[in-house]
Structure 1
Amino acid sequence: MRLVATRIGFLRAINLGAKRKFPKASIIAAVEAAGFTDVETYINTGNVRFDTTLRSRAKIEAALEEAFAAEAGFAVPTVVFTPRELKAIAEEAASFGHSGRHYVSLLKQTPTAAAVREVEEAGSAEEVAKVGGRAVHLLLGANYHEARLTNAAVEKHLGVATNRNLTVIRELADRWC
């Protein structure tokens, strides 16, 4: 008997503009076509929970990316976490005591110590990055809409990442962990 494990996938750069539309129903169809079961999505920003017998995160991400490309017609980088990992990211956020805008960039790969230093040093008094494992907490001030410390800046230093606000991260942790 093969053991089934729950995983949570975060799709990068979907539903941005007219050419990257990927509705929830199509995401579910693609995840099921990849062989995963008990699929559920949350809001239309690319958050999906599913069960799998695969153990390798890299194999899960590759299977999802192949299925998403086939269904959507464009590449959809995907970052996968276990429920335990997602819950830890949500819990870690409370330790920062930040009352401003809080976003979390979810990384495909674990960054090197040198890369972590680079992204954390790129911040300022109004924009702070705190890296923990494959999550980068972006703590932004009142002018968050003008921030230089964005997911694009994170990707420049740390590779493929997708970004969610802390409210979504907490909601997903409550629902799926």
Structure 2
Amino acid sequence: MPTYVAFLRAINLGPNRKFPKGDIAAATEAAGATDVATYINTGNVRLTTGMRSRAKVEAALEAAYLERAGFAVPTIAFTQAELAAVAADAEELNRPDLERHYLYLLKDEPTKDRLDALLAKDGAADQVVVRGRAAHLLLGEGYEAGKVDPWGIEKALGVVATNRNFNVVTTLARTWCS
């Protein structure tokens, strides 16, 4: 059976979107998954399921999370191989001069025009590199004055996304994808 790593969007932000790790695990199991594990309280879940379609996995998890949490929880799933590739890209792109390296994990690949418009905003202190369903936001010194809005990536790409930092993604890949 395939193993996926799912990333939950917009949970544990403020008082109204609380979704503790124990509830996430219980809801994931209620969706029919086994071998469930969570990592930190930002919505990172490893699961094994008989479902072979990413879209079906995401839909089943989103329905279970809605039922358990009482609010919609957009979910973005990657196979272990896909996440390992995203982490390998992150390692390749990471540089010692970066102030921040965020990864936006995308539900779907962005359209070419959305991607082109975002990439046109690259500046001297910041850069966006999109590979498949991951957008790497590479922020250098002085990025606060740069052209790329770190919080506007999802809107600019026009897809559902959630962000994690370099350390979380590479740690998850080392822990769950080997």
TM-score range, shorter chain: over 0.9
Question: 1:23 — aligned with what?
Answer: 20
Superposed CA RMSD in Å reads 1.5
Deviation of 1:40 after TM superposition, in Å, equals: 0.2
Task: Report Cα offsets for 1:117-161 as digits up to 9, x if no partner.
Answer: 122112211121000000000001234567643243333323100
Tell me whether 1:102 sits opposite 2:101 in the alignment: yes
Q: Distance in 1 between matches of 2:167 and 2:66?
A: 28
**TM-score w.r.t. structure 1 length?**
0.92
Question: 1:167 — aligned with what?
Answer: 167
The one-letter code sitting in structure 1 at the alignment partner of 2:155 is E
Aligned mate of 1:8, from 5, 8, 19: 5
Alpha-carbon contact 1:108-1:160 (below 8 Å) kept? yes
Unpaired runs of 5+ in structure 2?
none
State how 1:78-93 maps to structure 2 within 5 Å: 78-93=75-90
Alpha-carbon contact 2:3-2:48 (below 8 Å) kept? yes
Residue range with higher mean Cα deviation, 139-148 or 75-84: 139-148
Task: Report Cα offsets for 1:26-83 as digits up to 9, x if no partner.
Answer: 0001000111111000000000000011111111101111110111111100000001
Question: 1:158 — aligned with what?
Answer: 158
Residue range with higher mean Cα deviation, 106-115 or 54-63: 106-115
Question: 1:55 — aligned with what?
Answer: 52
Q: Distance in 1 between matches of 2:154 and 2:121?
A: 9
Question: 1:34 — aligned with what?
Answer: 31
Percent of pairs identical after alignment?
A: 51
Alpha-carbon contact 1:116-1:158 (below 8 Å) kept? no
Q: 1:13 to 1:143 in 2, by over 3 A?
A: farther
Q: Distance in 2 between matches of 1:66 and 1:122?
A: 36
Question: 2:149 — aligned with what?
Answer: 149
Alpha-carbon contact 1:106-1:135 (below 8 Å) kept? yes
Q: 1:176 to 1:129 in 2, by over 3 A?
A: same
Q: Distance in 1 between matches of 2:88 and 2:74?
A: 25
Q: Distance in 1 between matches of 2:21 and 2:42?
A: 9
**TM-score w.r.t. structure 2 length?**
0.92
Q: Distance in 1 between matches of 2:119 and 2:168?
A: 23
